[in-house]
Chain A
Amino acid sequence: EDQVTQSPEALRLQEGESSSLNCSYTVSGLRGLFWYRQDPGKGPEFLFTLYSAGEEKEKERLKATLTKKESFLHITAPKPEDSATYLCAVQAPGGGNKLTFGTGTQLKVEL
């Protein structure tokens, strides 16, 4: 069975203090790894898709990387508006579009 584990569960940063979120996964043949951001009371917002080990993608202060067993979401010089829950999900072959999600990392960026 596909499994996704995210750490830490919660993270508090000062504005400008860079850090990384971890997503470890177990899946038989990864088709894609997805990162989403979710604000309270809203649906997840798509950030990145990674398909193969060694791949990296960037968007503003965020950079996602992928290895054969885990993915990292690096946040450089975060701002308070980056506060949200970050969700990682994997997609496996034969499951249609089914995503298996981790429980997320709740990020709080303070002034």
Chain B
Amino acid sequence: KAGVTQTPRYLIKTRGQQVTLSCSPISGHRSVSWYQQTPGQGLQFLFEYFSETQRNKGNFPGRFSGRQFSNSRSEMNVSTLELGDSALYLCASSLGTRTDTQYFGPGTRLTVL
């Protein structure tokens, strides 16, 4: 079974631009969660989508948004990029039931100049 895939793997943007990252979950998984990983803060939860609805949201500004499509693929968007948005963005998929395991993709490395 194919794992979680994320595109692109690497991205370089400048301040003020916006960016869209994509995540394709494991086949049959309906929940997609997004996390930001930085050396200073570690892994922090951004939001979770289940059946095209946002089910939970972390403490990030409104510049961070996401959506999920009917095939469970998900995108996250960051508008008006800031230097501090440079990070590894990880997507994780799961069946969406209680306490099921989340499987992570390889991440998208975003660098903001």
Contacts and interface: CB of A to CB of B under 8 A. Distances in A.
Interface of A: 31-32, 34, 36, 41-46, 49, 51, 87, 89, 91, 95-104
A43 B4 contact: yes
Contact of B106 (A42, A99, A100): A42
Interface residues of B, number: 28
Contacts of B104: 36, 43-46
A103 B42 contact: yes
Interface of B: 4, 31, 33, 35, 42-45, 48, 50, 55-56, 58, 90, 92, 94, 96, 98-107, 109
B45 A100 contact: yes
B31 to A, nearest CB: 5
Contact of B101 (A31, A46, A102, A104): A46
Mostly, the B contact residues are strand
A51 B100 CA distance: 11
Mostly, the A contact residues are loop
6 contacts: A42-B107, A43-B4, A45-B104, A96-B48, A97-B92, A98-B45
A52 to B, nearest CB: 11
Given A43-B105, A103-B42, A97 B90 contact: no
